[in-house]
């Protein structure tokens, strides 16, 4: 190894790891080393630039807490999270989109037709649709787990004195695969930009705004779960979402509420508007 | 941007940064995004693997302190630090090698011939040589800043109750470009392996040992500084240093002390052995 130079070092580093030949770990590690080294050679990275990267990572670590994961945020603004979502979308299934930092795995079960908005300000909306498999068959008993920001772009979990389970609901689809509930239309909000990732955005003259969206995690027995977001036509930042979460197939239309069209859906409240969005799940592995 | 898919997202992310066209920042960022995305597509990275990487970085951040920079350690064991050292070595100059975590920028000035070993156990050695420019001319007044582990592989700065400036010295070369001092021969030691990087080493069945070495930072007016390490022939880990610091050109031979050969070097103590190593500096930018 004393003969290594800037071209042979890459294979020497790979060989230093004795991970099993052909294993996934070895494949991931070898490729990582190759890309890291190629990047460094291609850019002729200086010591100062190298140290700037390491200091950036150190600073991301320092600002991170269990509730503030700066590395996920970094992944988000570099489109890495979105790319992983895209790669892992199964053919025919609804496209994946960002999980984000606000998911809770113990949100309350609610009956179909329930209202999540309560007395919150904003446009109330009926969210409804059908969960199907890739053969277009409705899935009864699918779980529709949703969470969202309010009419001012804030998640209740972000505000002291609010119930963190507000604006969340876990619904089970009926025999026809349908889900339906009313809520308040969420507004856009910014990702946290007071840390190193915010500095990066400023250095690149980028904004921190996310297009307004509803979060969904959809699960059903023997099906592959999806995590996705539903966006709204003609709303702000829909074409320059800070975390690249928007996909054409995930944009819903907000229509005026027409009771006649959904007369068979018993609702707790009468909303101002309505949104129809169907989800498709692919078979599990 | 709503039309992005796993192939077009890379250009969309690049375009989201409005950094100046042709700037170094844009070049570094564009290349980083390209490699990150290529890696992800080539490996078909799963959500679980992506999250494992982010959790690893989070954990590196949590264990890091101003005195324990886990990201530098990560860079070291992936050969990234060594590669940056190699890329930034100037033609004809002594090869760069790891700065490591123990450099202090306010170590004491000492006169040529001083002894750093004091009463420490181990083999005492005369370190001497000439600092030259790439035209082979000796450089008078060059600064030779050295630091090292002791005869048991420990830096004084690592041990409570020890003087952190021990086993350090800043020397100025004489009119003939010479430096000379006595010290104790350092022993191998391990990089810290009680954190996430240690886990990575274990997962890859790698050891954490560094070959024994002396650290040097060499500076002179109008010359480009170098940071490097001097290793010793036929010592342990010389062919599998954990951070890829060894280069053939940086390996010195330990010879028995022969006073006749260095009669013109006034020394504070008579050592057991001697090492000759010459440094070459390239012109500054």
Please report residues of B whose CB lies closer than 8 A to that of A234.
Answer: none
Pairing of strands B143-148, B168-172: antiparallel
CB–CB contact A60 B60 (8 Å):
no
Test the B interface: residue of A58, A85, A202, A244 with most B CBs within 10 Å: A58
Q: Coil, strand or helix: which one is A274?
A: strand
| Chain A residue with minimum CA distance to B27 | A43
Q: What percent of chain B has pLDDT over 70?
A: 100
d(C-alpha A93, C-alpha B9), whole Å: 20
How far apart, in Å, do the first and last CA atoms of chain B sit? 43
Question: Nearest CA to CA, how far is A183 from chain B (Å)?
Answer: 25
Q: What is A80-281's CATH number, 2.60.130.10, 2.40.50.140, 1.10.3720.10, 2.60.40.10?
A: 2.60.130.10
- C-alpha atoms less than 13 angstroms from C-alpha of B162 in its C-beta half-sphere: 15
Q: Mutating which of B204, B248, B250 best tests the A interface, going by the most A Cβ atoms within 10 A? A: B204
Chain A residue with CA closest to B37: the answer is A80
Domain boundaries, chain A: 1-45, 80-281
B168-172: strand order across its sheet: B168-172, B143-148, B213-219, B226-232, B251-252
Q: Do A39 and B18 touch (CB under 8 A)?
A: no
Q: Indicate whether B214 pLDDT > 70.
A: yes
**Residues 6+ positions from A107 with CB-CB distance below 8 Å:** A145, A147, A165, A168, A169, A170
Residue numbers in B near A39 (CB within 8 A): 31-32, 35
Tell if the CB–CB gap between B17 and A83 is shorter than 8 Å.
no
pLDDT of residue B19: 84
Which residues in B lie closer than 8 A to residue A80 (C-beta atoms)?
Answer: 36-37, 40, 50
Contact (CB<8Å) B6/A86: yes
CB pair distance less than 8 Å for B244 and A9: yes
What pairs with residue B252 in β-bridges?
A: B232
**Cα distance from B266 to chain A (closest Cα, Å)?**
34
Radius of gyration of chain A (CA): 22
Cβ–Cβ of A205/B18 closer than 8 Å? yes
Q: Which residues in chain B touch residue A38, judged by CB atoms under 8 angstroms apart?
A: 35
Mean pLDDT of chain B: 96
CA distance A57 to B1: 28
Q: Do B87 and A45 touch (CB under 8 A)?
A: yes
Residue environment code for B50-59, b if the CB has 16+ CB neighbours within 10 A, otherwise e? bbeebebbbb
Within 13 Å and on the Cβ side, how many CA atoms surround A211?
Answer: 26
End-to-end CA distance of chain A: 43
Tell me the shortest Cα–Cα distance from A111 to chain B, in angstroms.
Answer: 31
One pLDDT digit (tens) per residue for chain A, 285 residues:
678 999 999 999 999 999 888 999 999 999 999 999 999 999 999 999 999 999 999 999 999 998 889 999 999 999 999 999 999 999 999 999 999 889 999 999 999 999 999 999 999 999 999 999 999 999 999 999 999 999 999 999 988 899 999 999 999 999 999 999 999 999 999 999 999 999 999 999 999 999 999 999 999 999 999 999 999 999 999 999 999 999 999 999 999 999 999 999 999 999 999 999 999 999 998
The reply to whether residue A16 touches residue B88, judged by beta carbons under 8 angstroms, is no
Q: Do A33 and B61 touch (CB under 8 A)?
A: no
Mutate to test the interface with A, among B35, B73, B203, B241 (most CBs of A within 10 A): B35
Q: Which residues contact A185 (CB under 8 A, 6 or more apart)?
A: A122, A123, A124, A125, A151, A212, A232, A254, A273
Instruction: Check whether B66 has a pLDDT greater than 90.
Output: no
Distance from CA of A158 to the nearest CA of B (A): 21
Residues A254/A199, Cβ–Cβ less than 8 Å: no
- From B133's Cα to the closest Cα of chain A, the distance in A is 22
Q: Please, which residues bridge with residue A218 across strands?
A: A144, A226
Chain A: give the shortest CA distance to residue B164, in Å: 24
Tokens of A152: 């001012």
**Residue B1 banded pLDDT, cuts 50, 70, 90:** low
Closest by Cβ to B206, choosing from A17, A44, A240? A17
Q: Is B270 exposed, middle or buried (0-12, 13-18, 19+ CB in 10 A)?
A: exposed
* Dist CA B39 CA B124 (whole Å): 49
CB contact under 8 A, A71 and B78: no
* pLDDT above 80 (res B2): no
B23: tokens are 């700037």
Beta-carbon-side half-sphere exposure of residue A91 (alpha carbons within 13 Å): 0
The 10s digit of each residue's pLDDT in B192-208 is 999 999 999 999 999 99
- The whole-angstrom distance between B44's CA and the closest CA on chain A is 7
Contact B75 A54 (CB under 8 A): yes
DSSP state of A126: E
Helix or strand (DSSP H, E) at A145: strand A143-148
pLDDT given for residue A21 in this prediction: 86
User: What pLDDT sits at residue A1?
Assistant: 65
Q: What is the DSSP string of A245-258?
A: ---GGGEEPPEE--
Contact B50 A6 (CB under 8 A): no
The angle that helices B196-203 and B70-77 make with each other, rounded to 10 degrees, is 20
């Amino acid at each position: 190894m004393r003969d290594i130079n800037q071209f042979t070092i890459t294979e020497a580093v790979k060989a230093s790891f004795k991970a099993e030949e052909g294993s996934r770990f070895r494949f991931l590690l070898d490729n990582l080393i190759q890309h890291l080294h190629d990047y460094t050679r291609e850019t002729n990275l200086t010591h100062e630039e190298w140290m700037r990267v390491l200091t950036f990572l150190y600073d991301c670590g320092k600002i991170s807490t269990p509730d503030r994961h700066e590395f996920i945020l970094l992944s988000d603004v570099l489109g890495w999270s979105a790319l992983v979502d895209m790669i892992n979308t199964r053919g025919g299934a609804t496209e994946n989109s960002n999980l984000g930092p606000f998911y809770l795995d113990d949100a309350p079960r609610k009956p179909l037709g329930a209202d999540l908005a309560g007395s919150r300000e904003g446009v109330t909306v009926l969210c409804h649709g059908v969960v199907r498999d890739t053969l277009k068959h409705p899935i009864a008993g699918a779980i529709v787990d949703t969470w969202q920001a309010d009419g001012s772009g804030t998640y209740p979990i972000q505000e002291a004195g609010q119930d963190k389970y507000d604006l969340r609901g876990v619904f089970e689809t009926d025999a026809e695969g349908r889900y339906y509930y009313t809520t308040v239309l969420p507004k856009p909000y910014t990702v946290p930009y007071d840390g190193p990732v915010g500095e990066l955005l400023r250095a690149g003259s980028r904004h921190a705004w996310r297009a307004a969206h509803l979060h969904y995690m959809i699960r059903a027995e023997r099906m592959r779960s999806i995590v996705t977001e539903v966006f709204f036509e003609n709303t702000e930042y829909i074409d320059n979402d800070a975390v690249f979460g928007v996909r054409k197939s995930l944009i819903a239309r907000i229509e005026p509420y027409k009771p006649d069209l959904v007369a068979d859906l018993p609702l707790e409240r009468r909303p101002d508007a309505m949104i129809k969005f169907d989800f498709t799940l692919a078979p599990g592995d």
